[in-house]
Amino acid sequence: MSGTTFFLTTGCVKTNCPLPDNINKQVQQLMINPDTRSSDLKRNSWSMGSLCADRITFKEGDHTWTFLLVWNTTHPKGPFWYLPHDNEESAFDAAVYAVKHYGGGFLAVESNDKRHVFGKDPNRNFKKNSLYSKKICKIMNTYKPMHLPYLALHTNAEGHFKNGGSGTVSMTQYSKNIFAFPAGTIKSGQKKGLKDEDTLIYLAGKKVQKDKIKKFTAEGLNVKFEKVTKKSNDNSMSNCIVLHQDHENYINIETEHGDITTHKKMIDKVMKIIGQKSI
């Protein structure tokens, strides 16, 4: 670690902690004070305990990206999560739960509680050798042990093709490259719980891995598996990890907006599958 330690009192959360050297050299750190806390930090500040929040930024061409980097100062090495959409509040709340209970940290895009940043979906900006993908993977690899998967947290709208089709994922949808593997009966119209069509684990790889899928469905988790090819590449994180990081260990947890209880259950089940015990 390098730099000077600043601990501001924003509820119970610590802020402005020194960054690891290899991250400190890659990004600019922005001071967080009580007046510049995000809505996510304000909502979670009293429950974050030993976690530390840093605001970091970097420029990519004409655009400036800003993130909250949250990590467990007591157990900094552990599962690390990427949260690309600032309008998915319960995904942030679930990430706080995950990092408090299992260590590691998460990186969350800041965009004034909006899904897009200067007209872009942050989860469609992982182009090959782009500055964005390099820096995010650098941060994730700093905190994430090599054997652990690349992890993401998302929420989505109720039912398929709702909310203009934006940000919606459903077990009832599939395509030539995306396959659905339900753990049991899918209940359309159910608004919460593991059987909801909007509750699922998203996996990705160059070929469908049925043995891997069975580990999740055996825990009652619905699975969608994306078969990634160069032709189908959508510049998402999952596609970048498979095609450009040569790594097929990617897990994304999806629930319906606001279903924090199910998000936590799914995190616990995924941690069990990958062999991570609560700290």
Other beta carbons within 10 Å of 56: 21
pLDDT of residue 159: 62
**Residue 92: closest CA among 39, 54, 52:** 39
Q: Is 2 within a domain?
A: no
d(CA 82, CA 74): 20
Q: What is the pLDDT of residue 49?
A: 86
Regions in the chain scoring below 70 on pLDDT:
1-11, 159-168
Q: Would residue 4 count as lying in a domain?
A: no
Give the Cβ contact number of residue 186 at 10 Å.
18
Is residue 25 a part of any domain in this protein? Answer: yes
The count of structural domains within the chain is 1
Tell me whether residue 130 is in a domain.
yes
In a domain, 70, yes or no: yes
pLDDT at position 20 is 93
The SS3 of residue 45 is: helix
Whether residue 122 contacts residue 87, with contact meaning beta carbons closer than 8 Å, is answered with no
If phi > 0 it is left, if psi is from -120 to 50 it is alpha, else beta; for residue 248 that is: alpha
Is 279 inside a domain boundary?
no
Q: For residue 37, what is the domain's CATH number?
A: 3.40.630
Overall size of the chain counted in residues: 279
At 192 the pLDDT is: 84
The reply to whether 226 falls in a domain is: yes
Distance separating alpha carbons of residues 276 and 214, to the nearest angstrom: 18
Q: State which residues form the domain around 67.
A: 14-273
What's the pLDDT score for residue 230? 96
Contact 201, 222 (CB under 8 A): yes
- With contact defined as beta carbons under 8 Å apart, do 179 and 146 qualify? no
- pLDDT at position 211: 97
Give, for 14, the enclosing helix (H) or strand (E): strand 14-15
| 0.85 exceeded by pTM | yes
Predicted pLDDT at 160 = 52
Residue type, 182: P
pLDDT number for residue 169: 84
Specify the residue for token string 């299992």. 102
Question: What is the token pair recorded at 243?
Answer: 């095609």
Q: What is the pLDDT of residue 8?
A: 43
Of 56, 40, 67, nearest to 10 (Cα)? 40
In a domain, 144, yes or no: yes
